[in-house]
Structures are given as C-alpha cells and as structure tokens.
Amino acid sequence: MLKAHGITKTFGEGPSRTVALRDVDLSVDYGEMLYIVGPSGSGKTTLLSIISGILRPDAGQVVVKDRDIWTLDSDALAGFRLQTIGFVFQDYHLFPRLTTTENVAIPLILRRESWEQSLAQARRTLRIVGLETKEGLPPYKLSGGEKQRVAIARAIVSEPDLLVLDEPTASLDGETGRMIVSFVKENILNAHRAIVIVTHDSRIYEYATRVVRMEDGHIIPGGG
Ligand SMILES: Nc1ncnc2c1ncn2[C@@H]1O[C@H](COP(=O)(O)OP(=O)(O)OP(=O)(O)O)[C@@H](O)[C@H]1O
Ligand SMILES: [Mg+2]
C-alpha cells in the first residue's frame, strides 16, 4: 500500500539545523498494523507527516496506492489525502468551538458533501467509537480518552485506506489506551487497509503486526 524511499528532511539553518530524517525507507502492506517506536526527537512525527502528505520531504519518494504523492500539485494532494488517508494528531487538534459531531463531519464537508449528510455520517461514526451520547458537546466537556476517540472518528469518517495515528494513547491511562487501540484494530483494520501508529507505550505493543524502531533520523534494521 505504501512505499517510502530515500526520505530526507532537515529543519532550520546554522547552529539550529536539525537533520530529522536521513535517507529513510519504509514499506507498509495492506492488512498491517505497523508500529513505529523510538526515542523523543528521533523523527517519528516528521516521518508520519511526510508519508501522510502533510509535510514535504527535502528528498525521496512516497508512493501510496500507486500514487507518487509528492509529485501531485497541492489541490490533487489535498483531494487524495481526503479520500485515502486519515491522520490522528499527537494532540488531537479538535476545533474548540465546534461540537463533537461537527468536528467529525469536517472531512466530509471539505469533500463538499452536504451539511446534513455530513452530520448524519458523523453521528454514525460517533456511534462506532461509542460516543453517541456526546454528539452536541464541545471538546472541553470530554475526557482525554473521549477526545482521542473523536479524533479517531474524524480520521475514519471518510473511510480512509491508510489510518495514521501519532501517539494515540499518550495522555490516556493504560486501560483506555488498550481499549482504543484494540478498537481500532478490530473495527478499522482489514485486508484493504493499513494502520501506522507511532507510540512510546509498551502497554499496547501486543496489538502490532510489525514494529520498526527509529533512532536519530534512521530506521534501525530489524529493530522492534
Ligand atoms: N518544524 C520544525 N522546525 C524545526 N525543527 C523541527 C521541526 N519539527 C521537528 N523538528 C526537529 O526534528 C527532530 C525530529 O522531530 P519529531 O517531531 O519528528 O520527533 P519525534 O520522534 O516525533 O519525537 P516525540 O517522540 O517527542 O514526539 C527533532 O529534533 C525536532 O526538534
Ligand atoms: Mg512526535
């Protein structure tokens, strides 16, 4: 499903110059739940952003479902992302002034589906993540685990083939974290999809189908 090759990314200049990724290769197959682990600052979020079409690499190629994504123009890339990729950010990125349902409906509204249809689909997706009683609430009235589930609902509402989660359990207790990850594995993963998760959380390792380790901008061969 996904092949990244020779990915390099540098931030800043002079003394603050940081090489975040050095010539990284990564493949993800259909049906995989791949974990990327490694110390803070090793380049995990940078790599997720690049394979998801959010951050442009300095060099290298990312092919998702036969599409060489960084050769697309920005409109084509935005459209492809809306159709194909769901991203859950490390810190949720929910819109504080929107309700739970409206937050989940955003990708559909961006796809120019009608407001009513988008909200109806958002409500169905909230039911899948067990939040049907929280539909009308703003994010600040939700617990950490509930916000995490809203972010997941927003990432899956458009039925993406590739679901990418950055530290989905970081702010959750062990029980809630395991619940969310096992939920995603059971309900989202299938033979036509793949999931990539960045995590520090050893309590959820049991759900991975494969683990790779990053260190200092590299993927460590055979690490995991
Ligand atoms: N926008 C940016 N500007 C400058 N430096 C950046 C930027 N984004 C990331 N970096 C640097 O690139 C390196 C890799 O960062 P990244 O966020 O990918 O690490 P990470 O593995 O996700 O860490 P964590 O586990 O703490 O989330 C770090 O040294 C970071 O400071
Ligand atoms: Mg990170």
- Summarize pLDDT for 156-191 with one digit per residue, the tens: 998 899 999 999 888 778 888 888 888 889 888 899
Question: Does residue 224 surpass a pLDDT of 70?
Answer: no
Query: CA nearest 194: which of 168, 224, 164?
Result: 164
Number of domains in the chain: 1
**Span from the CA of 21 to the centroid of ligand 1 (angstroms):** 10
Question: How far apart are alpha carbons 146 and 6 in whole angstroms?
Answer: 37
CA of 41 to the centre of ligand 2 (A): 7
Q: Is residue 14 part of a domain?
A: no
Q: Which residues line ligand 1 (CB under 6 A)?
A: 11-12, 18, 20, 40-46
Distance CA 207, CA 9 (A): 30
- Read out DSSP for 177-203? HHHHHHHHHHHT--TT-EEEEE---GG
- Assigned domain for 113 exists: yes
Q: Which amino acid residue places its CA nearest to atom 1 of ligand 1?
A: 11
Across all residues in the chain, what is the average pLDDT?
92
How far is 186 from 127, CA to CA, in rounded Å? 15
Would residue 205 count as lying in a domain? yes
pTM: 0.92
CATH number reported for the structural domain that contains residue 151 in this entry: 3.40.50.300
> How far does the centroid of ligand 1 lie from the alpha carbon of residue 13, in Å?
15
Range of the domain at 34: 26-56+65-220
Amino acid at 99: T
Task: Provide the sign of the torsion angle of the four alpha carbons 171, 175, 178, 180, taken in this order.
Answer: negative
Q: Is residue 2 part of a domain?
A: no
The pLDDT, as a whole number, for residue 91 is: 82
Measure the CA dihedral 146/165/169/224, to 10°: 160
Flag whether 7 is in a domain.
Answer: no
**Token pair listed for 63:** 């092919």
The pLDDT assigned to 213 comes to: 94
Beta bridge partners of 33: 195
For the CA of 90, the closest atom of ligand 1 is 27
Is 204 inside a domain boundary?
yes
| Whether pLDDT at 86 is above 70 | yes
Query: Computed from CA positions of residues 11, 16, 21, 22, in that sequence, does the dihedral angle turn out positive or negative?
Result: positive
